[in-house]
Amino acid sequence: MSTLEFDQEIELSNPNNEDDIKEKCEDNLKIEDKFKIKEKKEEVKETKTLSDFEYNDLEYLEAIETDNRNFFRVYWSILRREHNIIFTFFNWNDFNIFIIKLSKLFFLICTDMTLNVFFFSDESMHNIYVSGGQFNFFDQITQMFFTIMVSQILQIFLNFLTMTDIQYYHIKNLPKEQLNQEKISSVLKTIKCKIIVYFIFTFILFFFYWYAITVFCAVYVNTQKIFIVDSLSSFIMGLLYPFLLYILPTGLRFLSLLATEKKNLEFLYSLSDIIPFF
């Protein structure tokens, strides 16, 4: 019933009671306003967009319904989170602390250098001596491979300590009845504890790195050039291989979401979540 019809009905039934007419008209308008507000809220809810993190974290059936991103956008969303340089300098407003991202990048560079110290074996030293101190990429490739693998395992632990956006989205996705000051304080306390552990852990290792590299360079003076080139090569390889590695999970995810009618490729979708740990 419209407002006009409502007014006419009241006028016919109570022509002399103006106060009742006004009161009922106001009530009717309030009801209509409430319906309009509700419709607007539903429209806002329907048009709300998700971040790449939220898209990548969707369950399979939810992703089929809502994730309409193309292959390149999915691929780029993974690189922005997993590639050290892109994550540090080209991924802004991601609810992670920039100074911690920068310190983690520097720490991983130092980690590569220190691991190269420990992976210098007697055989590699002999090959360097035989070659007259010349760097041979193929002789060092095994050493660089193990350096990258150990560095990546360490990075998983560091991500666990420093990725604050996970807690942000945890709070954001909580039901309203569970969202309270106590819950928020608990999450913030968890973030604070993890960051403290991160700084203590990295400070101790930084001291150990400084000692190991200093001793190595002091003892093997003629190997310093090879050591620097080796460390630089390991770091560059660590920056290049993600561009190839993350094509695989992107392809698996994209293929699994193409089967919108059969909905039988959940295994591929789950498999695509294994490689990007965070």
Looking at the structure, do residues 136 and 89 belong to the same domain, yes or no?
Answer: yes
50 pLDDT tier (thresholds 50, 70, 90): confident
Give the global pTM.
Answer: 0.73
Give the structural domain span for 195.
83-245
Report d(CA 114, CA 104) in Å as an integer: 15
Looking at the structure, do residues 220 and 160 belong to the same domain, yes or no?
Answer: yes
Looking at the structure, do residues 117 and 166 belong to the same domain, yes or no?
Answer: yes
47 pLDDT tier (thresholds 50, 70, 90): very low
Dihedral sign from CA coordinates of 57, 60, 62, 68: positive
Residue 94's SS3 state is coil
> Torsion over CA of 66, 89, 159 and 201, rounded to 10 degrees?
-170
Looking at the structure, do residues 238 and 127 belong to the same domain, yes or no?
Answer: yes
Residue range 240-278, pLDDT digits in tens: 989 999 999 999 998 888 865 556 678 888 888 887 665
Report d(CA 225, CA 134) in Å as an integer: 9
Looking at the structure, do residues 143 and 235 belong to the same domain, yes or no?
Answer: yes
Q: Pick the range with the lowest mean pLDDT from 161-165, 207-211, 223-227.
A: 223-227
10 pLDDT tier (thresholds 50, 70, 90): very low
Indicate whether 148 belongs to any domain.
Answer: yes
Looking at the structure, do residues 122 and 22 belong to the same domain, yes or no?
Answer: no
Indicate whether 194 belongs to any domain.
Answer: yes
Which pair of tokens denotes residue 241? 């291989």
Looking at the structure, do residues 89 and 225 belong to the same domain, yes or no?
Answer: yes
Looking at the structure, do residues 132 and 177 belong to the same domain, yes or no?
Answer: yes
Indicate whether 77 belongs to any domain.
Answer: no
C-alpha angle with apex 188: 193 to 104, nearest 5 degrees? Answer: 55
Average pLDDT score over residue span 43-62 = 74
Q: What is the mean pLDDT of the chain?
A: 78
Report d(CA 78, CA 91) in Å as an integer: 11
Report d(CA 180, CA 187) in Å as an integer: 11
Residue range 172-186, pLDDT digits in tens: 888 877 778 888 888
Looking at the structure, do residues 36 and 129 belong to the same domain, yes or no?
Answer: no
Looking at the structure, do residues 102 and 231 belong to the same domain, yes or no?
Answer: yes
Indicate whether 14 belongs to any domain.
Answer: yes
Distance of CA 14 to the CA centre of its chain: 65
Looking at the structure, do residues 139 and 191 belong to the same domain, yes or no?
Answer: yes
Indicate whether 62 belongs to any domain.
Answer: no
In Å, how far are 48, 62, 161, 192 from 170, measured between CA atoms? 17, 17, 15, 16
